[in-house]
C-alpha cells in the first residue's frame, strides 16, 4: 500500500513580524557607502535618549537609518534549516517557523477526509519509509541555487511531529519510521506551481523488518503506550 499526499503551492516563507524595526548605523556596524565617511556631514554622536553612539547627519540633526526600505515593512523568514545549522536563527524565530508549519500540516491533513486514518492503519501494521518530492524551480527568487536538504528538513520534522501529536503514528522513533523522508528535487519552470509530495509506504528492507530485536521492541513499545494510565489515589493512614 502506498499513500501519496500533495501540498500544492506550499509556503516558502513565514511572517515573523508585521513591522520591522528601524535600524541605525553604529561604530561597530558602520555603513559601507563612502559618502558617510565625510565627517563634515556625518558624525557618531550620543544624544538624549540614545544608548550609545549613532551616526548622525549634521545638516538635519537626525540619525542615519540603516534600513530605510525595510523599516516598517513586514518581516519574513525563509523556511530552511540553513540558519539553524549556522546558529543564525533566534529561538523566537525558530518557534514562529515551527508553529506555523505544525498548523499548516495539521490543517492540510485534516482537510483530506480519511487520510490520517489510512496512515494510522499503515503505521500500525508496518514500519514506514517516506519520500519527500520538492517540485520547484531550480533557482530561487534571488537567482541562486538552493540546497534540497536544508529546505526539506523543517518540513519533514514538522510533518512527522503532526503525525505523532495526532496519534496517527505511535512515535517518530526508528521503530515506526526507520526511513524518514528522503528529499528529491523535481525541477519545474513556474514557482507558482510548486508543490510538496510526500509518499508513505511500508518499509521493505529485510534487514529492518526481519530484525528480531526491532520486531520485539516495536511490540513492547506499543504495549507500553497502549496501557491505560491509572491514577494513584493517596489514602490517609489511620492514626
Give pLDDT tens digits for 162-172: 999 999 999 99
What residues contact residue 15 under an 8 Å CB cut-off, 6+ apart? 74, 75, 76
* pLDDT band of 86, cuts 50, 70, 90: confident
**Does the structure show a pLDDT above 70 at 227?**
no
Among 29, 30, 26, 19, CA closest to 71 = 19
Distance (Å, whole) CA 229 – CA 235? 19
Answer for the pair 19, 72: CB distance below 8 angstroms, yes or no: yes
Mean pLDDT, the chain, integer: 91
Rounded to the nearest angstrom, the gap between the alpha carbon of residue 135 and the centroid of all alpha carbons in its chain is 18
* Residue indicated by cell numbers 490520517: 116
112-121 contacts at long range (C-beta below 8 A, 24 or more positions apart): 112/5, 115/3, 115/5, 116/163, 116/166, 116/168, 118/3, 119/3, 119/163, 119/168, 119/169, 119/200, 120/167, 120/168, 120/169
* Residue indicated by cell numbers 526511513: 179
Task: Give per-residue burial for 174-185: e unless 16+ CB within 10 Å, then b.
Answer: ebbbbbbbebeb
Per-residue confidence (pLDDT) for residue 229, from 0 to 100: 53
Residue 124, classed as helix, strand or coil, is helix
* pLDDT band of 235, cuts 50, 70, 90: low
Among 39, 44, 34, CA closest to 64 = 44
Per-residue confidence (pLDDT) for residue 106, from 0 to 100: 97
92-97 contacts at long range (C-beta below 8 A, 24 or more positions apart): 93/16, 96/14, 96/16, 97/14, 97/154
Distance (Å, whole) CA 236 – CA 239? 9
| Interval 86-101 mean pLDDT | 90
Residue 239: other Cβ atoms inside 10 A: 3
What residues contact residue 86 under an 8 Å CB cut-off, 6+ apart? none
Per-residue confidence (pLDDT) for residue 71, from 0 to 100: 87
**Does the structure show a pLDDT above 60 at 73?**
yes
**Does the structure show a pLDDT above 80 at 236?**
no
Per-residue confidence (pLDDT) for residue 132, from 0 to 100: 98
Per-residue confidence (pLDDT) for residue 136, from 0 to 100: 96
Amino acid at each position: 500500500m502506498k499513500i501519496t499526499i500533495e501540498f500544492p503551492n506550499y509556503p516558502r516563507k513565514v511572517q515573523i513580524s508585521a513591522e520591522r524595526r528601524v535600524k541605525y548605523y553604529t561604530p561597530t556596524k558602520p555603513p559601507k557607502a563612502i559618502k558617510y565617511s565625510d565627517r563634515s556631514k556625518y558624525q557618531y554622536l550620543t544624544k538624549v535618549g540614545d544608548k550609545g553612539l549613532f551616526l548622525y547627519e549634521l545638516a538635519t540633526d537626525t540619525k542615519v537609518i540603516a534600513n530605510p526600505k525595510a523599516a516598517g515593512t513586514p518581516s519574513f523568514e525563509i523556511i530552511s534549516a540553513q540558519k539553524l545549522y549556522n546558529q543564525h536563527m533566534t529561538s523566537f524565530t525558530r518557534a514562529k517557523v515551527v508553529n506555523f508549519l505544525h498548523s499548516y500540516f495539521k490543517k492540510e491533513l485534516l482537510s483530506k477526509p480519511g487520510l490520517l486514518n489510512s496512515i494510522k492503519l499503515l503505521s500500525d501494521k508496518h514500519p514506514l519509509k517516506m519520500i519527500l518530492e520538492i517540485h520547484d524551480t531550480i533557482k530561487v527568487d534571488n537567482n541562486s541555487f538552493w540546497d534540497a536538504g536544508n529546505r526539506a528538513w523543517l518540513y519533514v520534522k514538522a510533518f512527522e511531529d503532526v503525525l505523532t501529536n495526532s496519534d496517527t503514528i505511535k512515535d517518530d522513533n526508528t521503530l515506526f519510521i526507520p526511513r524518514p523522508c528522503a528529499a528529491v528535487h523535481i525541477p519545474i519552470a513556474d514557482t507558482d506551481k510548486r508543490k510538496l509530495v510526500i509518499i508513505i509506504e511500508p518499509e521493505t528492507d529485510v534487514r529492518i523488518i526481519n530484525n528480531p530485536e526491532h520486531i520485539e521492541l516495536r511490540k513492547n513499545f506499543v504495549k507500553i503506550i497502549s496501557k491505560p494510565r491509572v491514577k494513584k489515589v493517596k489514602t490517609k493512614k489511620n492514626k
